[in-house]
Amino acid sequence: MANWINTMKRMFIYNAERDFYAKHFPEVMEDESLLNLRVLRRIDIDQLIEIEKQVYGFPWSAQTFRDCMKIGYSCWVIEKLGDIVAYGIVSIAAGEAHVMNLCVDPQHQRKGYGRRLMRQLIAVALEERCRLILLEVRPSNEKAIALYHDMGFNEIGRRKDYYPAENGREDALLLGFELIADEADDDYFILNQDIDSEVMA
């Protein structure tokens, strides 16, 4: 019941600040100063579920998000004028980072939010001294694959029948992004220097 009430609130409660800017200053709506990159909170999960349903045919459940937070995965959102427009989750274990979810609200795609979040997840991996970042992606998700390749990820394998699909199962492409350590001074850096400069900016 609580989830249903929260959904109704988001649908019908008037957001005066957002609507004022959209009507009178549309150019400001893309102002980066209005964006807030922060850690995911439990109260955000209902918004994430709504985005999941719009983007994925087989969306995550609220319990899956709660489990990620409980386990201690690094969970981030990009917020704009009170609304979550993108989110990303990465797990860290045994010197490897694994991107579990990276998603952008369909109304806010092609604005660089996915790239911005991935840079944050890479920064988390660097801070945790990981040597490799992994992720799975559907072969049919061409836009996501293009973004990952552009950011330096390379295909390193394929997981058979990994995803549920309308006609059975779909394979997953396994992509990797390598981080290496300079043993001389024990500093970590990214092999792809273009990404390195963006992460550290």
Residues catalogued as catalytic: 136, 148
Residue 121, C-beta contacts closer than 8 angstroms, at least 6 positions apart: 74, 76, 88, 90, 97, 99, 102, 133
* CB 6 within 8 Å of CB 46: yes
Instruction: Give DSSP secondary structure letters for 129-195.
Output: T-SEEEEEE-TT-HHHHHHHHHTT-EEEEEEEEEEEETTEEEEEEEEEEEEEEETTTTEEEESSHHH
Give bridge partners of residue 74 from the DSSP assignment.
90
| Other beta carbons within 10 Å of 128 | 15
Q: How far apart are CA 130 and CA 106, in angstroms?
A: 31
* CB 155 within 8 Å of CB 173: yes
110 DSSP 8-state letter:
T
Residue 168, C-beta contacts closer than 8 angstroms, at least 6 positions apart: 161
